[in-house]
C-alpha cells in the first residue's frame, strides 16, 4: 500500500512512516513475528487493544500543547480511521481507539501533515514530555517552562541514546514550586527556579508509579538552564547502561537508583559527561510558542456582571486571571477525558473566536484555553455550555481522573469508566459543594499499573479482584494519603483496604462524612489522614469489605450485566518460535547501518552511540548462543569478556572487550573517534556472525531455537 505524503511531512517522518508500512506488510504476510513487530510498532505509537485485531493510536503532544487546526485534524482522522472519539490522557496525549493496523501508516502521515507525531509515544524510550498546562500564564511561575519542555522533547526524539532502553522513561516540567506536573512521580521532574539572576531547575530523580510507587529524590536544588539537557542525557545513558532488562517489573530507573544509591548514581552520571555531544545546550527561552498579548491592566481583577448560579460557579472554579494582567484562562472539565470529534471541531472554532491559538491538554484529562478577553467570558461560557464543556469544578474533588480500564486496555482488571461515572454522580447529588474543594483529588486506575495515577491521589482506587469461595468479585483497592499535603510536599498513597467495587460509592461517602465530622477546621486531607493513621481508616472501611454480606450484584462490575470473570491480558503478550540469536544479530546489523548513516551526516555523537549499541547487541547474541542469560548492558560486556576471552576471532585479554566498549565514555564525540569506533564495531559484528555460523555447522540450529514470551504496557 502506498502512502500519500504532503509537502509538510519531514524526510525523517516519511522514513519512519514508510518503515512502519513495510513492517506492517511483513507482519501481515508472516515474514515478521508478533514479538518482533510488537517491539517495533510500540515505538511508533501503535498499541494493541483488549479487543483483537484493532489498535490504540497514541498521539504525542509535548507538554499537551495543540492548536485549533491540529485539534480539527485529530478529529478528522478519528472519524476516518477510528471511532470519532478523542481520549485525553494523564500524560497529555490524545488516544484514538479501534484503528485497523493497516490504516496506521496513512493515519500517521495525515497527522504529521499537521505537525503531530506518533514517534516514541509508546515503547521503551523517552515518552511524551509533560508540563504544567498553566506554563506561560501561571501567576506563580518564575518563567515559562514551555520552551524548555519543547526543547527536551525535540532533542530526544529519534535520539540514539533512547531507542533501545530496558523500559520507558518519563520527564515532567512544573511551572512553579507547586509541582503541578507531578514531577515527583517521574524519572526526571524539573521545577523552575531563578538563582543569582540565572534561570535553572531543581531536579527530581527516579520517581515512578506502578505496583511499587517511589517518590523521586532530589538530585540537585539548582542546575543552570544550559546544562539541563546534557544532564538528562547523561542520566539516560546511566539508565541505559546499568538498568535492569530481564525482570521487566524491576526495569524502571527507580529500582536502579534504589539499588546503587543517589551518590553512586550521580557519580556515574558524571562519568558519562565526556561523551556528551553538548556539554552545554542553550535553549531559546523567548516564549515564542506562547500566544503573548498586550496586557489590559484596567481589567485586572475582573468580576462579571452576570449573576446566574451556573455561570457564577463556573467562573469561580474554572477561570483564573493569567500572569498577563487583564487576560483570563478557562479550564474545561471533560468527563473521562473523552470528547467526540464533532465537539472537538466545534471547540476549535470557539478557540479561534475567543482565545489564543494555544490549547493545552491537562494532566487531569481536561483542556485549558488561554488569552480570553474578560468581556468575552460570558459568550464563551454559553458556547462551551452548548457543547457540554462548561461543567464547573475543574481539578476539584468532583473532577475524577481515570484511565479507560476494561473498555480497551489489555491489563485492566475492572471498569474504570463505570465507577467514575457513579462516583461523580454521587458527589453531584450528595455533596454539591465539592466542586469548590481543591484539596482532595480522586484518581482511578483499572489495575495496579497506575495510568490513572491512583498512587498520587488523596483518595485513589485501582481495579482488583477478590475470591469468595469458588467465585470472583470485581474489587477496588483503596489508597489514601497520596498527592500533596498542606506544606506542598508530594506523597505516595498507602494501600488501606480492598473491597467489592459495587461498594465504592459507600466507601467514598464514608470517607467524606468522616472527614467532615472529625477534621480540624481548614485541615488538609493528607494532614488529616496522617494524623489519624492508616489503621484508623482500615477500621472505618472494614465493614464494607465483609464478604459475608455480598449480594448477587457484587459479582457484576459497573457498566456490565454479566457475572464478573477475570480476563486480564499480559500487555501484548506474544508466544512465538524463533531463532533469538539470528533476530538479535539482525538488530545489531540495523544499528550498524544507523551508525554509518549518522557518520555520513557528520553526526558524530549519534554515530558513536549507535556503534556502542552494535557492540552490546552483538555481544548479547553471542552470549545467547551459549545459553548465557543476559541482563544489563554493563553485565553483558562483563559476561562477554569472561565467556569469550581466548576464543578465535575475539580478544585474548579478559577485560579487553570492556575497555573497548566503554571507551565511549573516555572520548569526546569527534569524527576521528567515531570513524574508529564504527570500524571496530563492524569488525566485531562480523566476528560474532562468523562464530555463530560455525556453531550452527557444528551443533545445528534446532537446539538453539526457543520459545519467547514477552510483554509491554
pLDDT for 575 equals: 30
Contact (Cβ atoms closer than 8 angstroms) between residue 479 and residue 454: yes
Query: Nearest to residue 63, comparing CAs of 159, 143, 141, 147?
Result: 147
Q: CA torsion sign, 397 to 403 to 406 to 407?
A: positive
pLDDT reading at 710 higher than 60: no
* CATH fit for domain 138-275, picks 3.30.200.20, 2.30.38.10, 3.30.413.10, 3.40.50.150: 3.30.413.10
Q: What average pLDDT score do residues 55-80 get?
A: 97
The ranges assigned to domains in the chain are 11-112, 138-275, 297-386, 401-555, 574-710
- Given this chain, do its domains 138-275 and 401-555 carry the same CATH topology? yes
Tell me the pLDDT of the chain averaged across its residues.
90
How sure is the predictor about 712, in pLDDT bands with cuts at 50, 70 and 90?
very low
Q: How far apart are CA 474 and CA 562, in angstroms?
A: 12
Cα 60 versus chain centre, distance:
10
Alpha-carbon gap, residue 626 to 611, rounded angstroms: 23
- Listed residue (142, 168, 140, 139) closest to 156, CA to CA: 168
Contact 60, 118 (CB under 8 A): yes
Of the candidates 513, 420, 400, 426, the residue with the CA atom closest to the CA atom of residue 463? 420
pLDDT for residue 384: 98
CATH 3.50.50.60 fits 297-386, yes or no: no
Q: Determine which helix (DSSP H) or strand (DSSP E) holds 188, and give its type and residue range.
A: strand 188-195
Res 34: pLDDT: 79
Q: Tell me, which fold does domain 11-112 have in CATH? A: Sulfite Reductase Hemoprotein; domain 2 (3.90.480)
Taking a C-beta distance cutoff of 8 angstroms, is the pair 321, 301 a contact? Answer: yes
Q: Which of 84-98, 192-206, 387-401, 584-598 has the lowest mean pLDDT?
A: 584-598
**Looking at residues 539-568, what average pLDDT do you find?**
89
H helices of 136-277, where?
A: 146-156, 228-242, 253-260, 262-272
Q: Reduced to 3 states, what is the DSSP secondary structure of residue 163?
A: coil
CATH superfamily entry for domain 401-555: Sulfite Reductase Hemoprotein, domain 1 (3.30.413.10)
Q: What is the assigned CATH class of domain 574-710?
A: mainly alpha
Q: How high is the pLDDT of residue 574?
A: 31
338-340 and 85-88 strand pairing: antiparallel
**How many whole angstroms separate alpha carbon 33 and alpha carbon 158?**
24
CA 536/CA 510 separation, integer angstroms: 13
d(CA 477, CA 498): 4
Contacts of 213 (CB under 8 A, 6+ apart): 185, 450, 455, 456, 492, 493
pLDDT in tens, 7-28: 999 999 999 999 999 999 988 8
Between the CA of residue 181 and those of 149, 204, 227, 346, what are the distances in Å? 12, 12, 21, 28
Q: What is the DSSP string of 334-375?
A: -GGGEEEHHHHHHHHHHHHHHS-S-EEE-TTS-EEEEEE-GG
Q: How far apart are CA 335 and CA 417, in angstroms?
A: 9
Which of 103-107, 172-176, 422-426, 561-565 comes out lowest in average pLDDT?
561-565
pLDDT tens, position by position, 284-334: 987 543 445 555 556 677 788 888 999 999 999 999 999 998 999 999 999
Confidence at residue 700, expressed as pLDDT on a 0 to 100 scale? 66
- The reported pLDDT for the residue numbered 287 is 58
Looking at per-residue confidence, does 694 or 235 come out higher? 235
Q: Determine the average pLDDT of the residues in 576-587.
A: 70
Mean pLDDT to the nearest integer, 377-385? 97
- Rounded Cα gap, residues 288 and 268, in angstroms: 36
Percent of the chain with pLDDT over 70: 94
pLDDT at 572 over 80: no
**For residue range 642-686, what is the model confidence (pLDDT) as tens digits?**
888 878 788 767 788 999 999 999 999 999 999 999 999 999 999
129 closest CA partner among 138, 141, 121, 118? 121
Packing angle between helix 104-112 and helix 68-81, nearest 10 degrees? 170
Amino acid at each position: 500500500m502506498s502512502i500519500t505524503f504532503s509537502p509538510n511531512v519531514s524526510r525523517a517522518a516519511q522514513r519512519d512512516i514508510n518503515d512502519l508500512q513495510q513492517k506492517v506488510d511483513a507482519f501481515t504476510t508472516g515474514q515478521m513475528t508478533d514479538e518482533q513487530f510488537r517491539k517495533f510498532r510500540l515505538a511508533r505509537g501503535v498499541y494493541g487493544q483488549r479487543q483483537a485485531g484493532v489498535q490504540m493510536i497514541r498521539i504525542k503532544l509535548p507538554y499537551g500543547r495543540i492548536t485549533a487546526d491540529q485539534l480539527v485534524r485529530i478529529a478528522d482522522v478519528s472519524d476516518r480511521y477510528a471511532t470519532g472519539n478523542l481520549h485525553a490522557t494523564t500524560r497529555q496525549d490524545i488516544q484514538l481507539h479501534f484503528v485497523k493496523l493497516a490504516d496506521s501508516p496513512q493515519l500517521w502521515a495525515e497527522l504529521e501533515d499537521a505537525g503531530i507525531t506518533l514517534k516514541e509515544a509508546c515503547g521503551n524510550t523517552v515518552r511524551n514530555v509533560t508540563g504544567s498546562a498553566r506554563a506561560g500564564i501561571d501567576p506563580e511561575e518564575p518563567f515559562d517552562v514551555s520552551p524548555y519542555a519543547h526543547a527536551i522533547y525535540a532533542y530526544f526524539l529519534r535520539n540514539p541514546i533512547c531507542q533501545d532502553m530496558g523500559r520507558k522513561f518519563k520527564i515532567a516540567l512544573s511551572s512553579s514550586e507547586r509541582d503541578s506536573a507531578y514531577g515527583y512521580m517521574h524519572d526526571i521532574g524539573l521545577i523552575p527556579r531563578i538563582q543569582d539572576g540565572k534561570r535553572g531547575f531543581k531536579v527530581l530523580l527516579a520517581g515512578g508509579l506502578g505496583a511499587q510507587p517511589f517518590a523521586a529524590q532530589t538530585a540537585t536544588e539548582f542546575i543552570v538552564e544550559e546544562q539541563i539537557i546534557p544532564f538528562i542525557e547523561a542520566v539516560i545513558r546511566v539508565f541505559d547502561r546499568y538498568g535492569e532488562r530481564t525482570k521487566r517489573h524491576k526495569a524502571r530507573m527507580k529500582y536502579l537508583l534504589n539499588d546503587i544509591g543517589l551518590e553512586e548514581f550521580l557519580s556515574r552520571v558524571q562519568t558519562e559527561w565526556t561523551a556528551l555531544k553538548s556539554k552545554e545546550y542553550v535553549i531559546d527561552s523567548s516564549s515564542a510558542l506562547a500566544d503573548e498579548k498586550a496586557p489590559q491592566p484596567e481589567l485586572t481583577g475582573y468580576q462579571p456582571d452576570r449573576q446566574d448560579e451556573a455561570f457564577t460557579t463556573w467562573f469561580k472554579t474554572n477561570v483564573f486571571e493569567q500572569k498577563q494582567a487583564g487576560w483570563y484562562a478557562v479550564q474545561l472539565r471533560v468527563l473521562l477525558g473523552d470528547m467526540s470529534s464533532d465537539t472537538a471541531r466545534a471547540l476549535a472554532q470557539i478557540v479561534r473566536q475567543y482565545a489564543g491559538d494555544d490549547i493545552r491538554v491537562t494532566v487531569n484529562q481536561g483542556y485549558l484555553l488561554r488569552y480570553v478577553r474578560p468581556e468575552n467570558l460570558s459568550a464563551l461560557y454559553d458556547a462551551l455550555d452548548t457543547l457540554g464543556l462548561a461543567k464547573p469544578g475543574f481539578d476539584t474533588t468532583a473532577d475524577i481522573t481515570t484511565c479507560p480500564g476494561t473498555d480497551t486496555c489489555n491489563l485492566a482488571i475492572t471498569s474504570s469508566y463505570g465507577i467514575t461515572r457513579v462516583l461523580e454522580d454521587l458527589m453531584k447529588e450528595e455533596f454539591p459543594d465539592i466542586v469548590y474543594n481543591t484539596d482532595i483529588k480522586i484518581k482511578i486506575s483499572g489495575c495496579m499499573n497506575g495510568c490513572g495515577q491512583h498512587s498520587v491521589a488523596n483518595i485513589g482506587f485501582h481495579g482488583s479482584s477478590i475470591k469468595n469461595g469458588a467465585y470472583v468479585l470485581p474489587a477496588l483497592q483503596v489508597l489514601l494519603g497520596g498527592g500533596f499535603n498542606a506544606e506542598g510536599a508530594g506523597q505516595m498513597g498507602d494501600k488501606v483496604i480492598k473491597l467489592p467495587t459495587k461498594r465504592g460509592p459507600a466507601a467514598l461517602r464514608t470517607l467524606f462524612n468522616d472527614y467532615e465530622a472529625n477534621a480540624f477546621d481548614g485541615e488538609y486531607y493528607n494532614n488529616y489522614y496522617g494524623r489519624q493513621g492508616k489503621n484508623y481508616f482500615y477500621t472505618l472501611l472494614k465493614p464494607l469489605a465483609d464478604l459475608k454480606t455480598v449480594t448477587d450484584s457484587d459479582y457484576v462490575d459497573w457498566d456490565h450485566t454479566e457475572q464478573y470473570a477475570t480476563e486480564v491480558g499480559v500487555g501484548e503478550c506474544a508466544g512465538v518460535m524463533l531463532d533469538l540469536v539470528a533476530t538479535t544479530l539482525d538488530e545489531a546489523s540495523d544499528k550498524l547501518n544507523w551508525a554509518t548513516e549518522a557518520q555520513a551526516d557528520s553526526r558524530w555523537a549519534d554515530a558513536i552511540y549507535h556503534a556502542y549499541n552494535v557492540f552490546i547487541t552483538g555481544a548479547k547474541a553471542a552470549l545467547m548462543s551459549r545459553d548465557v542469560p543476559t541482563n544489563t548492558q554493563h553485565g553483558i560486556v562483563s559476561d562477554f569478556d569472561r565467556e569469550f576471552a581466548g576464543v578465535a576471532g575475539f580478544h585474548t585479554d579478559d577485560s579487553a572487550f570492556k575497555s573497548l566498549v566503554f571507551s565511549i565514555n573516555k572520548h569526546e564525540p569527534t569524527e576521528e573517534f567515531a570513524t574508529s569506533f564504527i570500524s571496530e564495531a563492524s569488525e566485531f559484528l562480523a566476528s560474532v556472525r562468523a562464530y555463530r555460523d560455525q556453531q550452527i555447522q557444528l551443533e545445528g540450529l534446532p537446539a538453539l531455537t526457543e520459545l519467547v514470551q514477552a510483554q509491554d504496557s
